[in-house]
Amino acid sequence: MDLIRNVNGKFLRCGYTTGVCAAAAAKAATALLLSGEKADSVQIKTPSGINLTIEIAETSVSGETVYCAVRKDGGDDPDATNGILIFSAVRRIAEGVEIDGGEGVGRVTKPGLDQPVGAAAINSVPRKLISEAVSEVCEKHGYSGGISVTVSVPGGEKLALRTFNPNIGIVGGISIIGTSGIVEPMSNKALVDTIKLELRQLYVSGGRSVLLTPGNYGENFARDVLRLSSSENISCSNFIGDAIDYAVELGFKKILLVGHIGKLVKLGIGLTNTHSANGDGRMETLVACALEAGAPLSLLRSVLGCVTTDAALELIEKEVLLPETLEILKKRIDRFLLKRVPDDTDIGFVCFTNASGSGRILIQSENSEKLLDLWRT
């Protein structure tokens, strides 16, 4: 892949996600199925809008099924899946595009993940990418029937043991994931340095207010739901504490944090690096808040068994304790943020959920509306 990032003076090559691999393999296999023409490579437009040329590593035909594989390329920041082959097998069906997982692709066993219990661990963004790639080929060849796509990863079950899948209730293989389609080549230090650089550039250009968004979810919610300008938006990834500290050090006087509940809940116990490798504490925080709100022991045990915050909040809501629990969490996050900054700095937060497919605010600081006005378009 030719996409390059300048990271601390080093030019590092980007990679592409397992979702892109599956979509490219499905596109090539569908083209061979419908036209008889074998492709050495295919074009895929990633969710981030970048067009990629993906090489097809293997192609085979068995009866009415066509198999194509793409080799995962993690760029200069490889993860556990770097170099593996990701297959998509396609065949004709009556209508629609059906997507499932085969060998080496995990199955969801606990509620609250991107896919329902029992489904293959192929997340919604890759599913959309696969469906669009297959539909594009069908339209090109005038085919009005349906296509079945089965994604498989030889060796995926063993490989998954090196990931967090067993901890969150995905068994039997890896997940097919990716929100942007691109794997960015950044170490933790390089990413923190980049955040600091962007903050410094914003300050030097005259900015004294900064909107911090942890990851793609926060950035998308701020732009698409809150309708905020991105002119002073800094993506801080998991490094919320580092971003706040450096913003204060530079002299920013107004700071607003917009993040998903899955990340911001960790602020309730003072965890400032929200990457799962540095600790979790999401359910423990919610249990503490729910306990203070009067939750029974049975509910607290159920919350501890959840794998996502959205699933936990759903259980708490059934007990009619959600408003009280969230109010306690709000106070915890408020206290943490206020301790992090001097008295002359105005800091607030907006915490949201994407449950049920639509983003909505769960809790927000008292000063958040005033801060939001700084970026409303």
Task: Please say whether the dihedral angle defined by the alpha carbons of residues 304, 307, 308 and 312, taken in this order, is positive or negative.
Answer: negative
> Quick one: tokens of 240?
């919320």
Instruction: Decide: helix, strand or coil at residue 149.
Output: strand
pLDDT digit string (tens) for the chain, length 377 residues: 566 655 555 667 788 999 999 999 999 999 999 999 999 999 999 998 999 999 999 999 999 999 999 999 987 766 789 999 999 999 999 999 999 999 999 999 887 778 999 999 999 999 999 999 999 999 999 999 999 999 999 999 999 998 878 877 899 999 999 888 887 766 566 678 878 988 998 998 899 999 999 978 899 999 999 999 988 999 998 999 999 999 999 999 999 999 999 999 999 999 888 876 667 899 999 999 999 999 999 999 999 999 899 999 999 999 999 999 999 999 999 999 999 999 999 999 999 998 876 789 999 999 999 999 999 97
Q: What whole-number distance in Å separates Cα of residue 152 and Cα of residue 86?
A: 6
Phi, psi torsion values for 87, nearest 5 degrees: -100, 145
Distance of CA 368 to the CA centre of its chain: 25
**Three-point CA angle 279, 285, 286, nearest 5°:** 130
Q: At what angle do helices 240-250 and 188-204 cross, to 10 degrees?
A: 30
What is the b/e burial string over 11-21, where b = at least 16 CB atoms within 10 angstroms of the residue's CB?
A: ebbbbbbbbbb
> Quick one: tokens of 45?
């437009």
Q: What whole-number distance in Å separates Cα of residue 281 and Cα of residue 92?
A: 46
Whether residue 255 contacts residue 345, with contact meaning beta carbons closer than 8 Å, is answered with: yes
Q: What whole-number distance in Å separates Cα of residue 187 and Cα of residue 367?
A: 34
Q: What whole-number distance in Å separates Cα of residue 258 and Cα of residue 347?
A: 11
Whether residue 88 contacts residue 44, with contact meaning beta carbons closer than 8 Å, is answered with: no
Give the list of residues 6+ apart from residue 38 with CB closer than 8 angstroms, or none.
32, 59
Nearest-CA neighbor of 329 among 372, 298, 295? 295
Whether residue 196 contacts residue 29, with contact meaning beta carbons closer than 8 Å, is answered with: no
Whether residue 360 contacts residue 352, with contact meaning beta carbons closer than 8 Å, is answered with: yes
Other residues' Cβ atoms within 10 Å of the Cβ of residue 70: 29
Instruction: Decide: helix, strand or coil at residue 119.
Output: coil
Amino acid at 257: L
Whether residue 110 contacts residue 168, with contact meaning beta carbons closer than 8 Å, is answered with: yes
